[in-house]
Amino acid sequence: MSRTYTCIVCPEGCQIAVEGENISGYRCKRGLLYVRQERENPTRNIATTVRLTGGEMPLVPVKTASPIPKDKIFEVMALCRALTVPAPVKKGEVVLPDAAGTGVDMVATADGI
């Protein structure tokens, strides 16, 4: 089976072709590593907002502390959608530990006062 990936590691945006175990079209080692990782265990970072109670603003921005498995994105987003945190929240504070059993925390990216 043949598949083409667009590398997102650097601004080059190489079109990397994968056919079976053969990988071609990458211009740097980072592109090769990206495609290998993408085939074995694709991960993504998530940035979103969660509700804030008792604060000046209704929402506080959050993100994953590190990438999570791609198949857990919708589960983590559902948890964030249902989450309400009390003000104040400090930048870097964990608002959702071990999101969806991934071992990755959701942390505030700004103060929620």
Domain 47-108 sits in CATH at 3.10.530.10
The one-letter amino acid code at 6 reads T
pLDDT in tens, 88-99: 999 999 999 999
DSSP 6-68: E--SSTT--EEEEETTEEE--SSHHHHHHHHHHHH--EE--EEEEEEESSSSSEEEEEESS-E
Rg of the chain in Å (alpha carbons): 18
CATH 3.10.530.10-classified regions of the chain: 47-108
25-34 pLDDT, tens digit each: 999 999 999 9
pTM metric for this prediction: 0.87
Q: What's the chain's average pLDDT?
A: 97
